[in-house]
């Protein structure tokens, strides 16, 4: 347990003194979004944002590495005020936080995107994908239901911004000549069948459960560890001087790429075991708690 400042929900998997020593050498902190930096209402808490602002004032670079699409991620990048780069779509994109230019991208091969969308359509599983600012629903997914239930869309409306409505994918052939970075399938029950199909027919893709009931299919060369390394390289920061925060198994490559790693209290047990430390949950200001107790302690 953490002995500093009376905080009791921080647990260290390496010696606390070693963690604090490395934290003092940290030049960048990179966060996953959902269930990590964002609470269950998809907000960055006032306390977490205040801690981030204090770190930025000290010269610590703050960034994001998420499986989310760019068109969602850049909203939070703007809120944080990222003066550098961040990574979206599980390491498939590197984006300039100031100009919004995509500096690196690794989309699916055109034929593989078309074949995957065709298979999901035949399976009639609920799936969606984005192309730029446009979002499409396929299979049994109802775009009207997704539009009404989107917490992200509600956040934009409160801030005076708008997002394009999700529409139905005209056909898998529509994807030809358009960059597709991932296809999202809603319902983990489809995982075995999708995984078998991808392994047998689309070897350049990978099928990953990225949250409790969502399957993401990405290009095989992409993961969050790749995203972290690209961020660090672009910002000229050694990976040993990076700390990452995450909550899900897809965040483990991000932990492995960095000098320090922090798992959320709501993370799976295997994720907590692989991190250097564990903080409070996403709805208990776990991010702010760790930042205040360690990175802002001196």
pLDDT tens, position by position, 86-123: 999 999 999 999 999 999 999 999 999 999 999 999 99
Q: Where in the chain is the domain with CATH 3.40.50.1000?
A: 11-106+223-295
pTM, two decimals, is 0.91
| Residue corresponding to tokens 């399976």 | 123
pLDDT of residue 3: 42
- pLDDT, one tens digit per residue, over 199-223 is 999 999 999 987 778 999 999 989 9
Of 187-191, 200-204, 234-238, the least confident: 187-191
* E-state strands within 166-288: 167-168, 183-186, 205-211, 214-219, 242-246, 260-263, 277-278
As annotated, the residues of the chain forming the CATH 3.30.1240.10 domain(s) are 110-219
Write out the CATH class of domain 11-106+223-295: alpha beta
| Domain 110-219 in this protein, CATH class | alpha beta
Q: What is the CA radius of gyration of the chain?
A: 19
The four Cα atoms 172, 178, 184, 186 give a dihedral, to 10 degrees, of -40
Decide: helix, strand or coil at residue 281: coil
From 288, 254, 249, 243, select the one nearest 267 (Cα to Cα): 249
DSSP 56: H
Long-range contacts, 260-264 (Cβ 8 Å, 24+)? 260/19, 260/22, 260/23, 260/26, 262/290, 264/35, 264/36
- The pLDDT tens digits for 247-279 are 999 999 999 999 999 999 999 999 999 999 999
């Amino acid at each position: 347990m953490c002995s500093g400042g009376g905080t009791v929900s921080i647990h260290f998997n390496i010696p606390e003194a070693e963690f604090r020593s490395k934290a003092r050498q940290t030049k960048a902190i990179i966060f996953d979004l959902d269930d990590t930096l964002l609470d269950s209402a998809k907000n960055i808490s006032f306390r977490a944002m205040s801690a981030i602002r204090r770190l930025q004032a000290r010269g610590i670079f703050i960034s994001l590495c998420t499986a989310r699409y760019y068109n969602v991620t850049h909203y939070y990048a703007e809120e944080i005020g990222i003066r550098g780069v961040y990574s979206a779509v599980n390491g498939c994109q590197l984006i300039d936080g100031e100009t919004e230019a995509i500096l690196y991208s690794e989309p699916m091969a055109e034929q593989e995107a078309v074949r995957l969308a065709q298979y999901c359509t035949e399976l009639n599983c609920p799936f969606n994908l984005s192309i730029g600012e446009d979002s499409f629903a396929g299979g049994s997914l109802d775009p009207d239901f997704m539009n009404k239930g989107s917490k992200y869309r509600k956040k934009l409306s409160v801030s005076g911004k708008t997002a394009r409505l999700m529409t139905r994918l005209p056909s898998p052939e529509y994807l030809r000549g358009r960059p597709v970075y991932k296809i999202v399938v809603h319902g983990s029950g489809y995982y075995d069948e999708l995984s078998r199909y991808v392994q047998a027919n689309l070897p350049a893709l990978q099928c990953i459960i990225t949250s409790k009931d969502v399957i993401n299919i990405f290009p095989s060369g992409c993961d969050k560890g790749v995203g972290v390394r690209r961020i660090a390289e672009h910002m000229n920061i050694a990976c040993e001087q990076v700390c990452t925060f995450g909550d899900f198994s897809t965040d483990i490559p991000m932990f492995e790429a960095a000098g320090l790693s922090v798992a959320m209290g709501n993370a799976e047990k295997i994720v907590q075991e692989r991190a250097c430390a564990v903080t409070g949950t996403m709805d208990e200001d776990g991010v702010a708690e760790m930042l205040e107790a360690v990175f802002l302690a001196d």
